[in-house]
Chain A
Amino acid sequence: MDVLGEGLLEALRLLLTGDEQTWEITGLTLRVSLTATAIAVLLGVPVAAALALGRFRGRQVLLAVANTGMGLPPVVVGLFVTVLLWRDGPLGALGLLYTPTAMVVAQAAIAVPIVVALTAAALRQVDPDFLLQMRALGATRVRALGALLAEARLPLLAAAMAGFGAVVSEVGAAQMVGGNLAGETRVLTTAAVLATSRGQFALAIAFGLVLLVIAFAVNLAVTLAQHRTTAPR
């Protein structure tokens, strides 16, 4: 049990003394996972809108694919991206393997199905007559869609946060495409795994606690921002 107490103390020490390495790792974790989430939202929301509102064949199958994709094991995504980015792989000439950019790509791939599935579910909750009413009131398609997204903003936010939560906490893909290189691609989860395999359990728990703190801080910041945008209505 004392290892948990030590971990808590170590986490406080790392956060309060401004340990350079911890800040670097934490900064990279945020940078990679937030960028991946933003990309997933940008790609996923239009896809989700098409799946939720469109009337085309295969829509249900694609929705099922997105729902299945929510359970995609990060390590499988990581392996797939790694093989693509190998020096002699199809995208090897880009030289992206073992860089933060590769981690963003892998994590975005993990987050997209989550964003698509949850956003599509949210949009389908909105009254189907809503779009018709908007159109009848003279709104263009784009404006009507904008109004619809605004109407469903809370579940959309939940979708984005679910995507962020999934990628910031995953270790399989980050380890494989990033290589856990010190000062380059080491994030909080891979640092925790390394500390564990070195037998530095308190340090590993400290990294885990730092991860919780930053995930909480991001969620809180977004929720507060959301609250401010809703309040005047």
Chain B
Amino acid sequence: MSRLLAFLAVLVSVVSCGGTDQAAGPSAERSLILATTTSTQDSGLLDELLPAFTEDTGWKVKPLAVGSGQAIELGRRGEADVLLVHSPEAELDFVAEGTAGERRLVMHNDFVIVGPPEDPAGVRDLPSARAMRAIATAKAGFVSRGDESGTHAREERLWEQNQIDPKGQWYRSTGQGMGATLQVASETAAYTLTDRATYLAQRANLRLEVLSEGDKALLNIYHVIELTERAGDRVQPDGAKAFADWIVGPRAQRMIGDFGTEEGGQPLFVPDAGKDEANLGN
């Protein structure tokens, strides 16, 4: 028994060495918490941007990829230093509470309505409002994120604008991220609302086509929001400002515009720093 314990102890210590310095804590270096959406992580954009940010500023970043609702809640509690989110109405409500600092436009892409190639509700090439109405009228299957993410918020707004209360067998809520929701829609031959970047990244595995796209109601706009010490004592406003300044700066904006084009693909995001939000999509 004691030899067994000794063996276990050796095993643990062997595995432990080489990593203990990491576990010692981030206090040695400056590190900030970025709460952002799953789409920026799942598309791979963060993997490109964050090393460059660290290189330029010396700040390390702990990115938490969660839904926009959770990201804003983490900001509200002062558990994050800076937010990169895409849920404009919720953001404006949050900023109005007064604990956030500056909110700046970073980039946009767009949402698209995808569905099975047979298109049972006949929404192909309809504008988004009419497409949503057609899906509800036909009671064709629709899969919702149902997770308070920016995509979910946009979907709810589209229903609301059409005075539709989506309820019934045809409307399902996954409570999961975009990737998982696209899978469910594909497997059940249903429609869903998705950001274009995630759809393009996963298209090969999906039996879904883009059916409705391009109108202004489908713009997917990302803002960076700095937190201040009003949100919590341990918030690092200097880190928040460093990140926000950097991501609207020339290097990050160029990287955002180029992202996705290397493999011969189409750009996934349009850099928008300094633009007027009202003119996007024109």
Contacts and interface: CB of A to CB of B under 8 A. Distances in A.
A226 B3 CA distance: 8
Interface string A92-116: 1001101111000000000000000
Contacts of B33: 98
Interface string A19-32: 00000000110110
A222 interface: yes
A87 B234 contact: yes
B234 A34 contact: no
A38 B11 CA distance: 10
Contacts, number: 101
A86 B8 contact: no
Nearest to B41: A194
Interface string A173-186: 00000011110100
Interface string B191-226: 000000000011011000000000000000000000
A78 to B, nearest CB: 13
A86 B42 CA distance: 25
B264 interface: no
A208 to B, nearest CB: 16
Interface residues of B, number: 42
Contacts of B22: 99-100, 184
B202 to A, nearest CB: 3
A193 to B, nearest CB: 9
Contacts of B3: 225, 228-229
Count chain A CB atoms within 10 A of each CB in B3, B8, B16 and give the residue with the most. Answer: B8
A51 B27 CA distance: 41
Nearest to A151: B1
B62 A198 contact: no
B282 to A, nearest CB: 32
B91 interface: no
Interface string B1-13: 1011001110110
Contacts of B232: 87-88
Interface in A133-178: 146, 149-150, 153, 156-157, 160
A99 B12 contact: no
B19 interface: yes
B19 to A, nearest CB: 6
A68 interface: no
A144 B25 CA distance: 42
User: Top 10 A-B pairs ranked by shortest CB distance?
Assistant: A199-B202, A197-B179, A87-B234, A225-B7, A150-B1, A31-B15, A229-B3, A100-B23, A30-B15, A153-B1
